[in-house]
């Protein structure tokens, strides 16, 4: 299935979880700017070092940097469709993505917005764990990781992310309200936006997303 879609929403809205479920169910390749940047950091590249400092403080990496990374990824993997988890995050990024896709005559199919309350965001972020090896994201509540915090997919160590501290979260939410929320109007105008209640359990959310993908 060669669908092209973006998953949008606040930090902790479940974008990563839903992206993984989509790729398992439909075989659509998934990536995120965060996953690409973490790989750069692990490789010790100058870009990885520079951007990790920005992320740890709760800031957003410059649009030009993110767009270049995404365009490179599309060149290698975009022929089979894609799910972008948390990209675009600003209107200029969305405009750049549209321009890239238009050049290749591969327009976006869906922009899915996971709507969650700030209470839900704080509850989820406070218990979030991420695999240091493969980037898989889960939560303390989602499984029994108290005795053995190990990734169920690659057996890498599950750790709390530095950018999940409360002060950093507040910065991320401010950035989200100022720069990401305007994307709703952008995609509403294109007719691509679909809002889904992300406060529910992940199976219910995924059921709505699956029906939406299958209808397109």
The answer to whether 183 touches 163, Cβ cutoff 8 Å, is: no
Q: Which of 128, 148, 160, 202 is catalytic?
A: 128
Q: Which of 4, 15, 38, 124 is catalytic?
A: 15
Q: Per DSSP, which regions of the chain are E strands?
A: 4-9, 30-31, 82-85, 110-115, 128-131, 137-139, 158-159, 193-197
Phi and psi dihedrals of 137, rounded to 5? -110, 130
Q: Which of 3, 38, 89, 124 is catalytic?
A: 89
Non-local CB neighbours of 214 within 8 Å, separated by 6+ positions: none
Using N-to-C axis directions, what is the helix angle for 91-103 and 183-190, rounded to 10°?
A: 40
211 as an active site residue: the answer is no
- 118: its two tokens: 């700030």
68 as an active site residue: the answer is no
38 as an active site residue: the answer is no
Q: Which of 161, 179, 195, 202 is catalytic?
A: 161
- 21: its two tokens: 């479920």
The set of catalytic residues is 15, 89, 128, 161, 172
């Amino acid at each position: 299935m060669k669908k092209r879609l973006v998953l949008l929403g606040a930090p902790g809205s479940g974008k990563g979880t839903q992206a993984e479920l989509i790729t398992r169910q439909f075989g659509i390749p998934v990536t995120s700017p965060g996953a690409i940047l973490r790989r750069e950091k692990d490789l010790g590249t100058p870009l990885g070092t520079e951007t990790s400092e920005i992320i740890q403080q709760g800031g957003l990496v410059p649009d030009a940097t993110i767009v270049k990374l995404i365009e490179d990824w599309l060149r290698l993997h975009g022929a089979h469709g894609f799910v972008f988890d948390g990209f675009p995050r600003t209107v200029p990024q969305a405009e750049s993505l549209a321009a890239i896709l238009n050049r290749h005559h591969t327009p976006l199919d869906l922009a899915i917005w996971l709507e969650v309350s700030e209470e839900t965001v704080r509850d989820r972020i406070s218990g979030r764990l991420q695999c240091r090896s493969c980037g898989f994201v889960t939560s303390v509540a989602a499984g029994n990781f108290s005795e053995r915090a190990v990734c169920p997919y690659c057996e890498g160590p599950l750790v709390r992310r530095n950018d999940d501290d409360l002060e950093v979260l507040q910065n991320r939410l401010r950035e989200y309200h100022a720069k990401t929320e305007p994307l709703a109007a952008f995609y509403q105008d294109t007719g691509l936006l679909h809002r889904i209640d992300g406060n529910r359990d992940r199976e219910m959310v995924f059921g709505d997303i699956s029906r939406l993908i299958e209808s397109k």
